[in-house]
Amino acid sequence: MQELLENEIFRTSLTTLLVIVGIFFLVRVAQRLIGRYGTDPDRIYATSRSIRRLGVFLGISAVILLFSGQIGDILTVLTLIGAGMAIALSQVLMSVAGWMRITMLTSYSQGDRIEINGVRGDVVDIRMLRTTLLEIGGWVDGDQSTGRIVHIPNSWVYLHAVYNYTRTFNFIWNELSYTLTFKSNWEAARDIITEFANESAAIVEKQARSQIKQLSGEFLIHYSVMTPFVYVSVATDGVKLTLRYLCEVRKRRGSSHALNVSILAAFQDRDDIEFAFRTMSLHQLPEGVPGTGPQGAV
In a domain, 231, yes or no: yes
| Poorest-pLDDT segment among 48-57, 67-76, 214-223, 234-243 | 67-76
Paired sense of beta strands 130-136 and 229-234, if any = unpaired
pLDDT computed for residue 191 by the predictor: 94
- Kindly report the average pLDDT of the chain as a whole number: 81
The pLDDT confidence band at residue 257, using thresholds 50, 70 and 90, is: very high
In a domain, 285, yes or no: no
264, 252 in Cβ contact below 8 A? no
pLDDT > 50? residue 40: yes
pLDDT computed for residue 218 by the predictor: 63
Cα–Cα distance for residue pair 287/293, rounded to 1 Å: 8
Cα–Cα distance for residue pair 99/93, rounded to 1 Å: 10
In a domain, 99, yes or no: no
172, 252 in Cβ contact below 8 A? yes
DSSP 184-235: S-HHHHHHHHHHHHHHTHHHHHHHHHHHHHHHTTTS----S--S-EEEEEE-
Which of 30-34, 203-207, 247-251 is predicted most confidently? 247-251
From 118, 147, 164, the end of a domain falls on 164
pLDDT computed for residue 137 by the predictor: 84
In a domain, 155, yes or no: yes
Q: Is the same domain home to 202 and 230? A: yes
From 164, 190, 209, the end of a domain falls on 164
Q: What percent of the chain has pLDDT over 90?
A: 32
pLDDT computed for residue 298 by the predictor: 47
The pLDDT confidence band at residue 32, using thresholds 50, 70 and 90, is: confident
Q: Is the same domain home to 153 and 175? A: no
Which of the 8 DSSP states describes residue 31? H
| Poorest-pLDDT segment among 133-142, 204-213, 219-228, 253-262 | 219-228
CATH code at position 255: 3.30.70
Mean pLDDT, range 61-78, rounded to an integer: 63
Number of structural domains found in the chain: 3
pLDDT computed for residue 265 by the predictor: 94
pLDDT > 60? residue 45: yes
Which of 3-12, 31-40, 72-81, 187-196 is predicted most confidently? 187-196
pLDDT > 90? residue 104: no
Mean pLDDT, range 198-221, rounded to an integer: 73
Q: What percent of the chain has pLDDT over 70?
A: 78
In a domain, 98, yes or no: no
Between these two residues, 171 and 149, which has the higher pLDDT value? 149
pLDDT > 60? residue 70: no
Q: Is the same domain home to 196 and 255? A: yes
* Threshold 0.75, pTM exceeds: no
In a domain, 278, yes or no: no
Q: Facing residues of 222 across strands?
A: none
In a domain, 193, yes or no: yes
Q: Is the same domain home to 190 and 260? A: yes
Cα–Cα distance for residue pair 202/154, rounded to 1 Å: 39
Cα–Cα distance for residue pair 182/50, rounded to 1 Å: 64
Distant-in-sequence contacts of 87-91, Cβ < 8 A, 24+ apart: 91/153, 91/155
pLDDT computed for residue 226 by the predictor: 80
Mean pLDDT, range 132-149, rounded to an integer: 86
Q: Is the same domain home to 137 and 176? A: no
The pLDDT confidence band at residue 7, using thresholds 50, 70 and 90, is: low
Task: Print the domain residue range for 224.
Answer: 171-268
Which of 31-35, 60-64, 203-207, 236-240 is predicted most confidently? 236-240
CATH code at position 136: 2.30.30.60
| Poorest-pLDDT segment among 104-113, 115-124, 137-146, 181-190 | 137-146
pLDDT computed for residue 219 by the predictor: 65
Which of the 8 DSSP states describes residue 246? E
| Poorest-pLDDT segment among 51-55, 191-195, 248-252, 262-266 | 51-55
